[in-house]
């Protein structure tokens, strides 16, 4: 395994931050981008690796790779349209740790030859697929790092939903990178829960007033879930405040029961919350509790499709639960911390548990099912 693969295979969701001056679809993004300055800054801001566009169609060159190499110790991915082994030799000499190989542009013989030469040079390869057939080709070629691009490079259309299904179908013994269309924490979270080890972020960083701050924002954890939403205006306030997940309770025993899973903006994921039996309301995720003594059980699970992707550590139903934080602290895997969280105590809870997400509902209300907008904003601000 090379440095690039190792960095992306580390626990948690990694990021490849990209230096890209322009895009064929969007035009100029950041024409004056300094690859050395950005490569150093991205690594300090939490990026596992840095991608450098070396193709002139993106305003880049191999010189950008040479400039970035001494500025950063992060693994560098050379990104372009490579079809000849001699190009890999030049990229290695310029300081690349990894290269992009686009299966769209390579037949089986060329792809195998390029992978072989990359291995000889000690370069990792990010082998990119954008449909089922290309994913199967990447797996068949033995690619250790597979990129799933949500953008069709012919039409430039982004289809995150289709890309997530490709990510979910990739073998779990490969490192999988979700590429394109990552502009909000929810996009990264959706890719992570589908099985991605890392996300590649380009245009969203280059278009931001402060690329490093934008990278930190996209990687920030815990995520924020506002639950018990029953009205569209409350969804809008939660989204405007910066919440990442919106919860809609569909259980019968609560005054916070939603009429349905309401629409959420693309910066949020919707979560249908069930007790006892899971329903089939359309949503990005489902949160399921067992039913005990006519009410929900103490803890639940977060599901993507039929797969459990996180554990929800909650408090006992309408009871004091002095072991709540201790149980969450000792739990393994992704933890959604719920139960009794408020703008006033969530910071302390995060410090104690370090959860993947925090979930608040009744503490943010002015009456059951009706959110207090100031407290919603205060809760999100306290998490951030």
357 and 338 Cβ atoms separated by less than 8 Å: no
Q: Which of 61, 79, 214, 371 is catalytic?
A: 79
**Is residue 20 flagged as an active site residue?**
yes
Tokens 């939490």 locate to: 46
Distances (CA, A) of 136 to 99, 108, 142, 172, 229: 20, 12, 10, 14, 41
Distance (Å, whole) CA 332 – CA 324: 15
Residues 105, 295: Cα–Cα separation, whole Å: 56
Q: For residue 111, what are the CA distances in angstroms to 3, 7, 288?
A: 21, 24, 44
Question: Which one of 149, 270, 283, 361 is the catalytic residue?
Answer: 149
Nearest-angstrom CA–CA distance, 35 and 205? 13
How far is the C-alpha of 13 from the C-alpha of 226, rounded, in Å? 22
H helix intervals, 35-131? 35-44, 62-68, 85-94, 108-121
Q: Let me know if 128 is a catalytic residue.
A: yes
Q: Is residue 72 annotated as part of the catalytic site, yes or no?
A: no
Q: Which of 20, 92, 225, 371 is catalytic?
A: 20
| Residue 28 neighbours by CB under 8 Å, 6+ apart | 21, 22, 59
- Which of 134, 144, 179, 365 is flagged as catalytic? 179
Residue 28's Cβ-count burial label (10 Å; 0-12, 13-18, 19+) is exposed
Q: Which residue in the list 18, 144, 192, 365 is annotated as catalytic?
A: 18
Dihedrals phi, psi of 371, to nearest 5 degrees: -80, 145
Beta-carbon count within 10 A of 80 CB: 21
Catalytic site residue from 23, 128, 144, 371: 128
CA–CA dist 17, 37 (Å, integer): 13
Which secondary-structure segment (H or E) carries 282? none
| 18 tagged catalytic | yes
Q: Write the DSSP symbol of residue 240.
A: H
Q: How far does CA 103 lie from the centroid of its chain?
A: 24
Residues 196, 165: contact at Cβ < 8 Å?
A: no
Instruction: Please give the positions annotated as active site.
Output: 18, 20, 79, 128, 149, 179-180
């Amino acid at each position: 395994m090379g440095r690039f693969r190792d960095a992306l295979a580390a626990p948690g969701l990694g990021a490849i931050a990209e230096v890209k001056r322009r895009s064929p679809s969007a035009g100029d993004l950041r024409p004056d981008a300094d690859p050395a300055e950005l490569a150093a800054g991205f690594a300090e801001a939490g990026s596992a690796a840095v991608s450098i566009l070396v193709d002139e169609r993106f305003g880049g060159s191999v010189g950008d790779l040479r400039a970035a190499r001494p500025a950063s110790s992060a693994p560098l991915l050379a990104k372009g349209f490579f079809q000849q082994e001699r190009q890999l030799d030049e990229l290695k000499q310029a300081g690349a740790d990894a290269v992009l190989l686009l299966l769209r542009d390579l037949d089986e013989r060329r792809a195998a030859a390029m992978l072989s030469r990359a291995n000889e040079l000690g370069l990792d390869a990010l082998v990119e697929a954008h449909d089922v057939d290309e994913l199967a080709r990447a797996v068949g070629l033995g690619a250790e790092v597979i990129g799933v691009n949500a953008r069709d490079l012919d039409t430039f259309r982004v289809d995150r939903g289709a890309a997530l299904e490709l990510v979910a179908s990739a073998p779990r013994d490969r490192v999988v990178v979700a590429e394109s269309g990552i502009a909000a924490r929810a996009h990264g979270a959706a890719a992570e829960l589908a099985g991605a080890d890392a996300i590649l972020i380009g245009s969203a960083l280059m278009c931001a007033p402060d690329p490093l701050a934008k990278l930190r924002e996209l990687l920030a954890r815990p995520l924020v879930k506002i639950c018990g939403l029953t009205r569209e205006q409350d969804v809008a306030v939660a989204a405007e405040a910066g919440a990442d997940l919106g919860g809609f309770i569909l259980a019968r025993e609560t005054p916070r029961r939603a009429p349905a899973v309401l629409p959420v903006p693309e910066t949020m994921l919707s979560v249908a919350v069930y007790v006892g039996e899971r329903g089939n309301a359309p949503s990005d995720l489902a949160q399921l509790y067992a039913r005990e003594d006519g009410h929900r059980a103490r803890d639940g699970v977060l599901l993507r499709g039929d797969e459990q992707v996180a554990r929800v550590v909650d408090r006992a139903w309408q009871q004091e639960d002095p072991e709540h934080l201790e149980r969450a602290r000792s739990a393994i895997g992704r933890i959604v911390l719920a139960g009794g969280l408020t703008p006033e105590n969530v910071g302390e809870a995060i410090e104690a548990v370090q959860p993947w997400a925090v979930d608040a509902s009744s503490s943010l209300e002015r009456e059951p099912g009706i959110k207090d907008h100031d407290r919603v904003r205060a809760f999100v601000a306290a998490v951030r």
